[in-house]
Structure formats: structure tokens, C-alpha cells
Amino acid sequence: MEKILEEVLSRLPKDAKISDATFEGANIVIYTKNKEFFLDNNGVIREIVNEIKKRVELRPDPSLCHEVEESKVIIQSIIPKEAGADSILFDPQRSMVVIEADKPGLVIGKEGEILKEIRKKTLWVPLVRRTPSLKSQLIENINSILYENNDYRKKFLNKVGKRIYGEYLRGKKKEWVRVTILGGGREVGRSCLLLQTAESRIILDCGINAALEFGDLNAFPYLEAPEFNIHDIDAVILSHSHIDHCGLIPLLYKYGYTGPVYCTAPARDIAALLCLDLISIAAKEAEKALYSSGDVKDMVRHTICLDYEEVTDITPDIRITLYNAGHTLGSSLVHLHIGNGLHNLLYTGDFNYETSNLLAPAITKFPRLETMLIEGTYGLRENIPESRAEAEQELIDVVVKTVKRGGKILMPVLGVGRSQEIMIVLERVMREGLLERVPVFVAGMVWDITAIHTAYPDFFNNKVRKMIFHKDENPFMSDIFQRVKGQKEIAQTIEETGPCIILATSGMMVGGASVEFFKQLADNPKNSLVLTCFQGPGSLGRKLQEGDKEITFQEGDKHDRVKVAMEILSIRGFSGHSDYNQIISFIRHLSPRPKKIIINHGENISCLELASALHKMFRVETSAPKNLESIRLK
Ligand code: ZN
């Protein structure tokens, strides 16, 4: 048995009747057969937590828990009807019951009194979650992966804990830290970093460059680099769920990785959805998918979700904390505390230092910080887009103009983030009468991702969170939004409708519904195409921005020529990334200020110029490494 478990057990009273002591990741869980001790341990557990500074949880031995059906009846009789608790899921392996309710507060009760009563009367440990306001099959599937047949999950979490609390080699080896860029060095797309210490091997993000053609080797990180050995990897950390950060994680499982992925809960759900979508896109284009839905399931089964600012050990010498990054729902700045004060690294992933229509700005206060790895997507000074207010006005203007001439507006959007922000803006300006009410068609995947958003109101900024809590103000439930599913259904609906707005993925128009709608709408000068996302080199969106007037689509031997007569407009102000000024302001507000700044995730010139500007401005060491370069941090 691990030393730390022995230590916890030695501090418990003799009659505690402990039946099992195990790990759930970095958390320690002990099971007792003593009913009285479970219901009231007299502060013993709190004392242990204070002394060993690790999370310790006491649960009843499964033999103490009342029968599932009986407990369900008891729980339903205790919870007030107004709570809307319609789903009660039992997790017998862990003696836990998950209660989903419209109003979680009513399930918890004043000072947790209702939860206490559930514990007392059923001898299960209750966990409360909010029911998403929009139904999502995906969330239900994810829950069933996690809570049913979870013998594997329990063993897996225990294995992770054994690695974390196993023999720590510090003192026997020299300490060092280095980071290798496996993708995303002086480019946008395929973000992937390998962090190595004498003790640990950590992968930070593992994405695909979605702007490139299927099968283009430049779309994937350099996983063939000699430093990378899949069987040595201790943990994967996902900063946020965009395909250029999460798209290749299921492949790691396909090739034999069995360790954890750390991220927030919304990032896990959205990542699963995007990876499944990648498989279906491959099928549509008659290409071989990179991995199967089983591999995506494996990713979900191995994911350990963290809340913002929850500190957790992930290996014997690395402790991580995720902070709000302001980029997408559940996006994180990843703070890594390495060794016992040896080094502190912040990996920003993609971040936005501005209050958007969805999220609060990125966090700038950290306990310690020596090196920062920062994105440079908009690192050029001349690259400053208009403000959000100006962007909103531009959007209103183009919709008004297009509606007036009887046209339709196609908005290719990133399914994650941009689409929900545009939905919130459209709902507001139509509600306030700034824009005539026209139908907004939300195509397939955008709807599913929006449903996931409504399941995690805590991750929005204050304003949106409050609106979602009040059902009648929830902007995503507005009747201006019409869900349309299949391609044929949408094509027909649009044909038959007058002026309307269509939100569809992909944002760069590389595959997906947005390309199909483009083919349908391009030759009519009454229509408008509004681009709101970063358009990667080589993407259809970039070609249209550059003024291409004829686009050829190739399908097998068939060439399909499409004339572009519709109005093309780019609105950059809804960016989910910090622009040059915001990057500077973010660094200025950082506390403490890092001694070294490494720039990635930006085109060559953006990374180099930002490195030079930051060096001059803040007098710190800066660099913009290329792919396959390693930097020693300590
Ligand atoms: Zn991103």
C-alpha cells in the first residue's frame, strides 16, 4: 500500500471499520462499514486534510447503501417537487448517487440540510448537477460512459493515484525541465507540446490543422519525434476544445495510451463531439477516419475533469491548476507547478483578455510564475481588429442591407464559441428591436454544441449565467432560432424561406454544412457571406477573402464550378483571441510577471514580431521556437 494511504489510515479511530482505501486520481477515498462514523466523523477527516494537504473523502462501504429502487423512492420523497429532479443515477461502485435537477439549490437545501437527510436515510453520497436547458444526446451518452459499467473507471482512477503518490525519484535524479514543440510552432493549427522533467512526461494539447486537406502530413503534430514515446506519457492536458488543440487525442488511445486527460467538463463534452464529427466528415468525403468512435469513448472514459482554480497533482513532481482563459466555454490557462518550487510554467492555450458576449476575460493573477508560453495568433501590431461594439454594428448593417434586397445571410462559424456568441448578439438586437426579426437557422452540430453550453452555466460570464438561470430569459431558448438537421432538409427550408440567417460550421469553410450552403447561395448577388473567424491559409474562406470569383470543387473526376456573386464581408471583431493591445495589457496585468516568454500558435511573422516587441517592452527573454525545437526551462 502507498505510504500516503497508510498515513491516512493510521490517523483514523480504531472502530472506523475501514473496508477500502483507494485513489480517485489525486483524491484519496476511504470506505467505511461503520454507519455512525460515515454520518458523523467528528471532524477527523477535516483534520487529516489540513495536515496532509490532500483531498480525502469518506464514503460508506457499498454494503451499507440501501437498495437502489428503495433509495430512489426515499430521495424523491425528500426533494421538493419544484426542484425538478427528473434524473437520479446510481454509481454503486463508488456509493454515489447523481441527482440532476432544474434547480440544484432546492436539492441541496439550506446549509445542505436536504443532502444531509439523503445521506442519513439512504446511506449513499449524493452529488447534484443542473439539468441542461436544451437536451443533448451527447451529454447523456457521456454520462452513461462514466457512470455505468464503471468498474474500469474505478480501477483507472486508482492507477492514476498510484502513479501520483508512487515512489518519488526526486533526490535520486538531477532536476530539470524542458519543453519540446511538436506542433503549433510559428503556425496556427496542430498545437502540441511535450513537457519533460526527470520524473514526468506531459502532453499539452494534441490537435489537427483542419485547414489542410485530408491526409496532408502537415496537419498532424510531430509524434514521430524521438522525445515522444506514447508508453511513457503520464498525462495529457487539454487547454480547450477546438480541433487544432483536441483533434488528435483519441488517436493517442488508439495507439495504446491509457493515461488521463485533464480538462474542464465542458471542454471534455465539446471535444468528444468535435472528434466524433471529424469521423463523420471523413465518412462523407469517403476518406479513412483517423480513429473510431470507440477511441473517442476511450478518451471520455479516461478524462478527469477539473474546476477552475482547483489545484491537483498529476504526477509526483507536477501539480496543475486551470484558470479561465476567456476563449471558449471551459477554456483554460494551464498553470504547472513543477518540483517543489523548482519552476512555474503558464501555458495560455488560446486566450482572450476581454469580456466577450459569453465569457469573462482571462485571469492574470497566479501564485508563482517564471515562464509563460503564450499564443501569438494576432501578435502583429497592425492586426488589430475592430472592437466588439463596431463588429456588432457591422453585423446589424449587413443583415439589414441583405434583408432589404431579399437575400439570405450565410455565416460560417466555429461550432464552439463564435456561434454561441453570434446567437447571443442576434437574440439581443432582435429583442431590442435594433434588427427586424428574421429566422435564424442553426445547422446540426452548432445546435448540439449550444446544448452542451446550456449544461454549464457556471462557466459563462455573470450576465449570461444569470440569464440562463432564469428560464424565460435564456437567450439560447429564443424562438428566433430554428434547428435544422439534415443537409437536404435545410437546403429545402432555405429555398422556401425569404430572408434568413444561417449559422453553419465549419468556420473556415473546409467541409461541413457551410460549404454546402455556399454552393447553394454563392451565385445570387442578393445574398451575403459573413466571415467572423480566423481563415487559415489554403482554406476556402481565405480564398474568398482574397477575392476569388470562381471556386472549383472536385469530387472524384467531377469538377463543380461555382461563380461567386454574393457579397463577401469579413468581421474580425468577434475574435476569441486577444489582439496585440490585449496581449500587451494582459502581460502588464500579470502578477507575478514571468521572466521568460515563449510564443507559439501564430503565423511565422506574428510570432517573431511579437517576440521582439515583448522583449523590448518588458525586458524579458523571449523566443518563438519552430516545431521540433526544445527549450530548457530549468
Ligand atoms: Zn482555440
Domains of the chain by range and CATH? 1-64+143-166 (3.30.300.230), 68-131 (3.30.300.20), 167-381+577-632 (3.60.15.10), 388-570 (3.40.50.10890)
- Alpha carbon distances (Å) from 321 to 273, 345, 634: 25, 11, 20
Using CA atoms, how far apart are residues 506 and 187, in angstroms rounded to an integer? 19
If you measure from the C-alpha of residue 569 to the centroid of ligand 1, how many angstroms do you get, rounded to a whole number? Answer: 22
Which pLDDT value is given to residue 168?
A: 60
If you measure from the C-alpha of residue 287 to the centroid of ligand 1, how many angstroms do you get, rounded to a whole number? Answer: 25
First vs last C-alpha separation in the chain: 33
Using CA atoms, how far apart are residues 88 and 69, in angstroms rounded to an integer? 11
Percent of the chain with pLDDT over 70: 98
476 in Cβ contact with 132 (< 8 Å): no
DSSP 8-state class, residue 525: T
More confidently predicted of 42 and 180: 180
DSSP 8-state class, residue 608: H
**pLDDT mean over 298-308:** 96
288 in Cβ contact with 323 (< 8 Å): no
If you measure from the C-alpha of residue 327 to the centroid of ligand 1, how many angstroms do you get, rounded to a whole number? Answer: 7
Using CA atoms, how far apart are residues 503 and 533, in angstroms rounded to an integer? 13
If you measure from the C-alpha of residue 591 to the centroid of ligand 1, how many angstroms do you get, rounded to a whole number? Answer: 24
Q: Which residue spans within 519-634 are E strands per DSSP?
A: 528-531, 550-555, 558-563, 567-570, 596-600, 621-623, 630-632
If you measure from the C-alpha of residue 204 to the centroid of ligand 1, how many angstroms do you get, rounded to a whole number? Answer: 14
If you measure from the C-alpha of residue 219 to the centroid of ligand 1, how many angstroms do you get, rounded to a whole number? Answer: 16
408 in Cβ contact with 499 (< 8 Å): yes
If you measure from the C-alpha of residue 350 to the centroid of ligand 1, how many angstroms do you get, rounded to a whole number? Answer: 5
Write down the mean pLDDT value for the chain: 92
**pLDDT mean over 37-59:** 94
**pLDDT mean over 219-225:** 96
pLDDT in tens, 503-529: 998 889 988 889 999 999 999 999 999
If you measure from the C-alpha of residue 260 to the centroid of ligand 1, how many angstroms do you get, rounded to a whole number? Answer: 21
If you measure from the C-alpha of residue 256 to the centroid of ligand 1, how many angstroms do you get, rounded to a whole number? Answer: 27
If you measure from the C-alpha of residue 20 to the centroid of ligand 1, how many angstroms do you get, rounded to a whole number? Answer: 42
If you measure from the C-alpha of residue 334 to the centroid of ligand 1, how many angstroms do you get, rounded to a whole number? Answer: 14
If you measure from the C-alpha of residue 298 to the centroid of ligand 1, how many angstroms do you get, rounded to a whole number? Answer: 23
The residue behind cell 448593417 is: 397
If you measure from the C-alpha of residue 270 to the centroid of ligand 1, how many angstroms do you get, rounded to a whole number? Answer: 12
If you measure from the C-alpha of residue 91 to the centroid of ligand 1, how many angstroms do you get, rounded to a whole number? Answer: 34
* Cell, residue 476: 439560447
Using CA atoms, how far apart are residues 327 and 341, in angstroms rounded to an integer? 29
Percent of the chain with pLDDT over 90: 75
If you measure from the C-alpha of residue 400 to the centroid of ligand 1, how many angstroms do you get, rounded to a whole number? Answer: 30
If you measure from the C-alpha of residue 574 to the centroid of ligand 1, how many angstroms do you get, rounded to a whole number? Answer: 13
Judged by average pLDDT, the poorest of 73-82, 171-180, 341-350, 567-576 is: 171-180
Nearest to 236 by CA among 278, 199, 193: 193
If you measure from the C-alpha of residue 351 to the centroid of ligand 1, how many angstroms do you get, rounded to a whole number? Answer: 8
Q: What pTM was computed for the model? A: 0.92
Evaluate if residue 210 carries a pLDDT over 90. Answer: no
**pLDDT mean over 535-552:** 92
**pLDDT mean over 249-273:** 96
If you measure from the C-alpha of residue 496 to the centroid of ligand 1, how many angstroms do you get, rounded to a whole number? Answer: 36
338 bridge partner residues: 318, 343
Assign 66 a pLDDT band (cuts: 50, 70, 90).
very high
Assign 169 a pLDDT band (cuts: 50, 70, 90).
low
Mean pLDDT: which of 454-458, 516-520, 614-618 is highest? Answer: 614-618
**H/E segment holding residue 97:** strand 96-101
More confidently predicted of 138 and 602: 602
Q: What is the DSSP string of 194-245?
A: EEEESS-EEEEEE---TTSPTT-GGGS--TTSTT--GGG--EEE-----HHH
If you measure from the C-alpha of residue 377 to the centroid of ligand 1, how many angstroms do you get, rounded to a whole number? Answer: 10
If you measure from the C-alpha of residue 206 to the centroid of ligand 1, how many angstroms do you get, rounded to a whole number? Answer: 12
If you measure from the C-alpha of residue 131 to the centroid of ligand 1, how many angstroms do you get, rounded to a whole number? Answer: 27
Nearest to 36 by CA among 10, 64, 62, 63: 64
If you measure from the C-alpha of residue 349 to the centroid of ligand 1, how many angstroms do you get, rounded to a whole number? Answer: 7
Assign 554 a pLDDT band (cuts: 50, 70, 90).
confident
